[in-house]
Amino acid sequence: MTKGIHRLYISTLVMIVIVTTIYLSYIGYSYYILPLEERFYHPQYDWFKPGGTLGHGLGILGTLMILFGVTIYIARKRYNFMSKYFRLKYLLEFHIFLCTLGPILIVFHTSFKIGGIVSIAFWCMVAVVLSGVIGRFIYIQIPRTIEGRELGLNEVQELKNELSQSLVTNYALDQNTLETIKSVGEYNPLSLSGWTKSKLTIAKIKSSLKKQVSNKGSRQNLIATITQEVSLSQKIKRLQTMQKLFKYWHVAHLPFALIMLVIVLIHVVVTLALGYKWIF
Winning range, highest mean pLDDT, from 54-63, 162-171, 231-240: 54-63
Please tell me the predicted confidence (pLDDT) of residue 42. 92
C-alpha separations of 220 from 146, 171, 186, 213, 252 in Å: 22, 12, 23, 10, 41
Answer yes or no: are the C-beta atoms of 115 and 100 closer than 8 Å: no
User: Would you call 51 helix, strand, or coil by DSSP?
Assistant: coil
Distance CA(19)–CA(14), nearest Å, equals 9
Distance CA(231)–CA(160), nearest Å, equals 9
Please tell me the predicted confidence (pLDDT) of residue 139. 80
**Residue 218 is which amino acid?**
S
- Going by C-alpha positions, the residue among 164, 154, 210 that lies closest to residue 185 is 164
DSSP assignment letter at 172: -
DSSP assignment letter at 190: T
* Beta bridge pairs of residue 150: 144
Whole-model pTM?
0.72
pLDDT in tens, 86-135: 777 888 889 989 988 998 998 899 888 877 777 888 788 888 888 888 88
84 pLDDT more than 80 = no
pLDDT in tens, 18-73: 999 999 999 999 999 999 889 999 999 989 988 888 988 998 899 899 889 989 98
Distance CA(74)–CA(61), nearest Å, equals 20
What proportion of the chain, given as a percentage, has pLDDT over 90? 16
136: left (phi over 0), alpha (psi -120 to 50) or beta: alpha
**Residue 62 is which amino acid?**
G
